[in-house]
A and B are shown apart, each in its own frame.
Chain A
Amino acid sequence: MRRIIAQAKKELTQLVRDRLAVALALLLPVVLLLLQTTAISLTVKDLPIIVQNLDQSEASRDLVDRFRQSLSFHVVSWPADRQPDEAFTANKARGALIIPEEFGRQIARGENATVQMLVDASDENTAQIIAGDSAQIVRAYNLENVGASHPQPVIAAIRLWYNPSRSSQRFYGPGIYVLAMSLFPPLLATLAMSKEGEQKTILQVYVSNISAHEFLLGKIAAFMIVALTESAVMMGILFLGFGLRFAGDPTPFLVATLFYVFCVTTFGNMLGAAIPSQVAAMQAVALTGFLLVYMLSGLLFPIENIPAGIRWISNFVWGRYYIVVVRDALLSGGGWPSVGFDVLAIAAIGSFFYMIAWRNLRRMQLKD
């Protein structure tokens, strides 16, 4: 035990001496969390659209006003003699509402009139939102103007649970937190471990009487302390800056964080022990840690959308389980019954990493 503590102390001292690494450990996660949580969102608002009103009747102007009033769009002017898709190629507008001639007369006669919404679908998600929002505006217009003649037999009362304001920060904030936790602690751990191999100080460890378990646990403990500090700082930002709170029982989150911190630092140590070059080990962590966790854990985009051929990989991605626990703790509050399995999965993957790292080091001798 004493040796573990000594080893951990030595690691922390070494880390504090490296100013660039300290900045990476404490400053970068904070900057990224603030920046990405504010910047990443798919829910577009206030999109520029153009209106080509070929009718100029009272009814058509009324409809255009509805579009003008909505928060989803703002109408930009566009000369009537130019094609609307020129506005799309010039990136001046994302949609074009086209009201045909005779629109007002058709409505007054009691016929249904069709208006067209051209949507720039080069961004598929935004296109869907434009189509959905404009359909809602038209529906509201119909309800008010022709409500009596076209009764709505079934009315959908839509309730949005857990995030009624549809704030994307509440969804992406926890995701970015998990991403930062999956990237920076293992990066620091791997740097420290591969440095021993690169500068051959590992030989000093081999000739000392410290055992492989003690050496590894000391290293892991040191970076777990760093990672827990990072976690505390980032959670503070999520709570104070983005107004998130624990939605239910916080104990699964606390236990899972402890396991996860163990899991990622062990992952870093494992790679560092296997690759005795700092730059290469760093690239390996960045590539696997970042790519796997960022892409395949459901942080930003649903796992169900990944093609089945590579989706199974996500079952082995540690971040996938932690993100479930974090979102549950901060948004839906299901507690132990809903996330118990995920906590165990994190612990299992962490122990697996530990085993591999230990196998690499157990002989405490240079490889032949």
Chain B
Amino acid sequence: MKPVKRLIDKLRALVTYRMRALILKEFRQILRDKRLAMSLILPPTLQLLVFGFALNATVSNLKLGIVDDSRTPESRELIANMTQSGSFQNGGTFFSINDMSKKIASGKLDGGLVIPYDYARDLQRGTPVTVQVLLNAMNSNTATIGQGYAQGVIASYNQTLAAGGLHAKFQQIASSDVSHRGAVLLDPAYLYNPGLESTWFVVTGILGVLLILNGSLISAAAIVKEREAGTLEQLLMSPASTTQIIVAKLFPLFALLCMMGLMAIGIMRIVFGIPFRGNVFLVMAAAALCLLCGIGIGTFIATFTKSARQAQLTLFFVNPPLTSLSGAFTPVEAMPKWLQPAAQFNPIQHFGMISRGAMLKGSGIETLWPNFLVLLAFTLVLVSLSIWRFRKQLS
């Protein structure tokens, strides 16, 4: 029991009148600095909104140019099927493929549909006929999804053809077959996000980026400021211990950043309508850990730099790589295999797992504990590293 008692004594010594005075001073200093106070609110809100609204990879209404050499009711039926689907829209009719391909090259069209002159004749005869679908594959994602759409539209069109109507010939062929086997139908079911809202993925990931980004920027700015102004020496001359100075320095930052995090979570709920299927306290706990990671990074860098300018420039070397390897905007599975393990060394990635799990899938601590453990480890390492550096500087 002795070590526990000693620890409690130590903690009690920490929370003294002196400590409270120091914390109050930091709070006042931060709030008086209008720019710092503003940067607690404005950039995170703006970033969350713009990121959430603009980072949208949804592929819909692809503009399809049409070259119809057949000009028959059958070909117009196919065109209607293609362009009424919501995946594609009619981008204009062309007389030659050359005219159309120029439009595709200039980006005015996303693709084209070419129907051969013998389309209707072949259909009536019961011969399979090939139509050409051109897609601008510059954006590989659009091409991948557009390809799936086109196949899907044609497949369902084929089913209506085989079912009779205009082209009874195909039904005859189908029923005359002796070795009759059934076909497999695939029925996809989208769990957790049946409306396929693309913002849900991005916004839940961005939160982690915001916490680390703003946590590191603001804490670096606050700590460097004291040094730039030369008031650090005054603090050292005061009777407060170094631990008290550090804790008093970091605690108000953490408290204010937590409020920013809460605000961001509120925006997610109200503006983007993210469902909170799991325990929202899990997300908050993870967010607090993430903030501490950010503060750790910011403080650590601040101890190496002499001016706010230098600290900010140095953060440019840390934050963008951290963000791009985080899986916040794009799935980690889309990275090359050899790079994927790097994401495991990123607090943002683990926060993303927790926030997506708890908000969208309703996972509880029983499945998310490995991510929490890793996040906790990152926090402990980063915070103790920065406190160690800070202390070394103070003494």
State the A residues within 8 Å of B (CB).
20-21, 23-24, 28, 31-32, 35-36, 38-47, 63, 85-86, 88-91, 94, 106-136, 138-139, 141-142, 145-146, 148-164, 166-168, 170-171, 187, 191, 278-280, 282-283, 287, 291, 295-296, 300-302, 304-307, 310, 324, 327-328, 331-334, 337-339
Contacts and interface: CB of A to CB of B under 8 A. Distances in A.
A148 B183 CA distance: 11
B128 A157 contact: no
B308 interface: yes
Contacts of A328: 105-107
Interface of B: 35, 39, 43, 46-47, 50-51, 53-59, 61, 78, 101-102, 104-107, 123, 126, 128-145, 147-152, 154-155, 157-158, 161-162, 167, 170, 173-174, 177, 179-194, 196-198, 200-201, 204, 221, 308-310, 312-314, 316-317, 320-321, 324-325, 329-331, 333-337, 339, 353, 356-357, 360-363, 367
B192 A120 contact: yes
Contacts of B188: 116-117, 119, 130-131, 134-135
24 contacts: A41-B330, A89-B362, A115-B186, A122-B192, A122-B193, A125-B57, A126-B334, A129-B144, A131-B190, A149-B177, A154-B128, A156-B131, A156-B151, A159-B135, A161-B104, A163-B137, A163-B140, A168-B141, A171-B141, A187-B316, A191-B309, A279-B309, A282-B312, A295-B50
B335 A295 contact: no
Given A38-B339, A124-B201, A157 B132 contact: yes
B105 A334 contact: yes
A23 B316 CA distance: 11
A115 B185 contact: yes
Given A154-B158, A163-B140, A116 B43 contact: no
B331 A42 contact: yes
Contact of B197 (A47, A124, A304): A124
Contact of A151 (B128, B194, B197, B312): B128
Contact of A171 (B131, B140, B151, B157): B140
Select the residue from A139, A167, A191 with max chain B CB neighbours within 10 A. A139
B196 to A, nearest CB: 5
Given A125-B58, A160-B135, 11 more contacts: A24-B313, A44-B331, A88-B361, A108-B181, A123-B331, A129-B148, A148-B177, A154-B154, A158-B147, A159-B132, A295-B54
B189 A158 contact: no
Contacts of B123: 153-154
B46 A291 contact: yes
A139 B194 CA distance: 23
Contacts of B39: 283
Given A112-B182, A127-B190, A301 B55 contact: yes
Given A41-B335, A151-B170, A119 B191 contact: yes
Given A305-B57, A334-B105, A158 B151 contact: yes
B151 to A, nearest CB: 6
A123 B196 CA distance: 8
B189 A124 contact: no
Per CB-CB distance, the 4 closest pairs between chain A and chain B, nearest first, are A132-B148, A338-B106, A160-B137, A121-B190
B131 to A, nearest CB: 6
Select the residue from B151, B180, B334, B353 with max chain A CB neighbours within 10 A. B334
A119 B393 CA distance: 53
A198 B82 CA distance: 61
A345 to B, nearest CB: 14
Contacts of B135: 158-161
A167 B363 CA distance: 34
B304 to A, nearest CB: 11
A110 B101 CA distance: 44
